[in-house]
């Protein structure tokens, strides 16, 4: 199996030269475009790691399904979806367009920046610091990794350059979709995106969802229903405005981030974590995407 995975990985590493690393957040551009790593964790306990599976990178938008689950635990499903929708946008992840033009002015879904900021704003805590402490604790639990920390430089870069996110935050506050302090919500959002992970950490997140919300020690953290909400939104909105094509080509609930991560869930079977910072035009890992296409075909992974 390892030999087979290595072969697929090296074949797809060649694709990395056709993309580029994100540079709109200072610090992200330091990544090596040719890195590609894969970790597969099966529900039977088998683990496979190949390529650059142990390189650290910022989780970015792969954080979004996690904060969604925490926001639901804190507030219940109905309250969360009174502040954020469930529909794909077909627009770029950082687009502001539909916030203004759609009649409700409600952010479309929790997987795009606007909806994720509204979701993060729902997380409970005394202040921004306390809220982020709870977020980090939750991420550590799901990743089964107590050493997770943020990359301070990327966090500062996000905060300094995140003016479009800031604009969306204030717009949503004006429309009543954010109740508390906008700067606090943004601060927690920038921090959650700056958490350092590896492909192995993302495989754990995926395995957790593949097992319907249960850790490897058998502890249930979220209900089957909450895990299902996260997986469903990952299918419809998780790969940005490339989610439709991805569902057809790969066919498993997945979430990508501009740091190069992809977390892919094969329900009941396995969790897959990918790192490949060279991105295609939509912001998805170019090598990771094509590696997942091959894996899906070879291992018959599509849920459809």
Binding site for ligand DON (CB under 6 A): 60-61, 93-94, 112-113, 158, 165, 193, 257-258, 283
Annotated catalytic, 61?
Answer: yes
Active-site entry in 258, 266, 285, 296 = 258
Annotated catalytic, 221?
Answer: no
Alpha carbon 214 to chain centroid, angstroms: 18
CB of 184 to ligand DON, least distance (A): 16
Which one, 270 or 279, has the nearer CB to ligand DON?
279
CB of 59 to ligand DON, least distance (A): 8
Alpha carbon 126 to chain centroid, angstroms: 25
CB of 157 to ligand DON, least distance (A): 10
Give the Å distances, CA to CA, from 8 to 37, 50, 117: 11, 10, 36
Q: What are phi and psi of 214, to 5 degrees?
A: -120, 135
- Asked whether residue 284 is marked as a ligand-binding residue, the answer is no
3-state helix, strand, coil in the chain (%, to 5): 50, 10, 35
Residue 152 tokens, joined? 């301070």
Cα separation of 118 and 116, whole Å? 5
Do 235 and 248 contact (CB within 8 A), yes or no? no
Annotated catalytic, 53?
Answer: no
Which one, 48 or 256, has the nearer CB to ligand DON?
256
Active-site entry in 15, 53, 61, 62 = 61
- Asked whether residue 285 is marked as a ligand-binding residue, the answer is no
Annotated catalytic, 155?
Answer: no
Residue nearest to ligand DON (CB): 61
Annotated catalytic, 258?
Answer: yes
Q: What DSSP element (H or E) covers 74?
A: helix 64-75
- Asked whether residue 158 is marked as a ligand-binding residue, the answer is yes
Which one, 59 or 226, has the nearer CB to ligand DON?
59
- Asked whether residue 189 is marked as a ligand-binding residue, the answer is yes
Which one, 142 or 270, has the nearer CB to ligand DON?
142
- Residue appearing with tokens 């490339």: 242
- Asked whether residue 225 is marked as a ligand-binding residue, the answer is no
Q: What DSSP element (H or E) covers 271?
A: strand 270-275
* DSSP letter, residue 285: B
- Asked whether residue 53 is marked as a ligand-binding residue, the answer is no
Q: Taking the CB of residue 44, how many other CB atoms lie within 10 A of it? A: 7
Give the Å distances, CA to CA, from 127 to 51, 168, 172, 178, 187: 40, 21, 20, 15, 11
- Residue appearing with tokens 């209900």: 223
- Asked whether residue 240 is marked as a ligand-binding residue, the answer is yes
CB of 295 to ligand DON, least distance (A): 22
CB of 158 to ligand DON, least distance (A): 5
Which one, 48 or 95, has the nearer CB to ligand DON?
95
Binding residues for substrate, by number, are 61, 113, 158, 165, 189, 240, 258
Binding site, by residue number, is 61, 113, 158, 165, 189, 240, 258
Return the active site residues.
Answer: 61, 64, 189, 240, 258
């Amino acid at each position: 199996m390892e030999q087979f995975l290595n072969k697929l990985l090296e074949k797809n590493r060649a694709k990395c030269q056709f993309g580029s690393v994100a540079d709109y957040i200072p610090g992200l551009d330091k990544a090596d475009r040719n890195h590609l790593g894969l970790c597969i964790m099966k529900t039977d306990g088998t683990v496979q790691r190949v390529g650059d599976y142990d390189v650290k990178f910022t989780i970015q938008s792969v954080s979004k399904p996690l904060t969604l689950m925490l926001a639901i635990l804190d507030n219940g499903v109905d309250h969360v979806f009174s502040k954020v929708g469930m529909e794909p946008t077909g627009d770029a992840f950082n687009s502001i367009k539909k916030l203004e033009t759609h009649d409700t002015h409600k952010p479309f879904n929790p997987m795009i920046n606007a909806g994720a900021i509204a979701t993060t704003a729902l997380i409970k805590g005394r202040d921004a610091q306390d809220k982020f402490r709870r977020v980090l604790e939750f991420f550590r639990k799901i990743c089964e990794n107590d050493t997770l920390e943020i990359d301070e430089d990327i966090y500062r870069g996000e905060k300094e350059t995140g003016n479009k996110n800031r604009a969306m935050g204030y717009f949503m506050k004006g429309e009543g979709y954010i109740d508390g302090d906008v700067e606090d919500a943004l601060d927690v959002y920038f921090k959650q995106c700056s958490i350092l992970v590896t492909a192995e950490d993302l495989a754990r997140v995926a395995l957790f969802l593949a097992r319907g919300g249960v850790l490897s020690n058998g502890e249930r953290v979220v209900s089957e229903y909450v895990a299902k909400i996260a997986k469903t939104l990952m299918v419809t909105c998780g790969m940005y405005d490339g989610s439709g094509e991805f569902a057809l080509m790969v066919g498993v609930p997945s979430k990508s981030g501009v740091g190069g991560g992809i977390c892919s869930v094969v329900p009941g079977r396995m969790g897959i974590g990918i790192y490949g910072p060279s991105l295609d035009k939509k912001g998805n890992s170019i090598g990771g995407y094509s590696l997942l296409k091959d894996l899906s075909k070879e291992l018959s992974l599509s849920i459809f």
